Amino acid sequence: MQIRRSTFKDIPEIMVIIADAKIHLAAQKIEQWQNGYPNAAQVENDIKIEESYVLVSEESKVVATAMFTTRKEPTYKVIEGKWKVDENQVYGVIHRMAIKASFRKLGLAAQLFKEFHQQLNQKKIQSLKIDTHEENVGMQSLIKKLGYQYCGIIYTNYGDKRMAFEKVL
């Protein structure tokens, strides 16, 4: 398996993974990603600004996707709680992570996190932040297992409540 930046050629495979993730979330009665987000335009923009990543199988198939950045997340400025590392410092952010259905439960999400942690360590950035829906117990379980700590509640730019987590590297 290899992690690399996404290309425009990857968009169809990424969108299949995202569509499947939307179905998976809906089946669990989780409202996350049920409002048209994320969409192909968002993924295309992530690729343009070099913040979209894919995990590719030995058969060259895209099996996972995520957005990773060190740009400040505007919705993280206001938190009902407290971040571990001051909001004014540089930090990493993960959004839009999804794993192909047939590859779930194989530790691929943890591989993506490990890659992003390494990128931050190389840049001497000590914090990675992520948010998730309060009913997305699967993601909460993973990030807690990886050492992330709950910091509080943030609200998306469309007003949805999200649980915010952070790991100091």
Q: Where are the beta strands (DSSP E) in the chain?
A: 2-5, 52-56, 62-69, 80-81, 92-99, 127-132, 149-155, 161-168
| Residue 53 zone, left/alpha/beta (φ > 0; ψ -120 to 50; rest) | beta
Number of structural domains found in the chain: 1
How many helical (H) and strand (E) elements, i.e. helices and strands, does the chain have? Answer: 4, 8
Is pLDDT at 62 greater than 90 in this prediction? yes
Is pLDDT at 145 greater than 90 in this prediction? yes
Find the mean pLDDT for residues 112-124.
97
Give the domain CATH number at 151.
Answer: 3.40.630.30
The SS3 call for residue 94 is strand
Tell me how far apart the alpha carbons of residues 106 and 17 are, in angstroms, rounded to a whole number.
Answer: 15
DSSP state of 111: H
Is pLDDT at 110 greater than 90 in this prediction? yes
User: Which residues span the domain enclosing 93?
Assistant: 2-168
Nearest to 138 by CA among 38, 24, 36, 23: 24
Is pLDDT at 36 greater than 90 in this prediction? no
Q: Is residue 144 within 8 Å of residue 164, measured between CB atoms?
A: no
Is pLDDT at 44 greater than 90 in this prediction? yes
pLDDT at 158: 82
| pTM of structure | 0.93
pLDDT at 157: 86
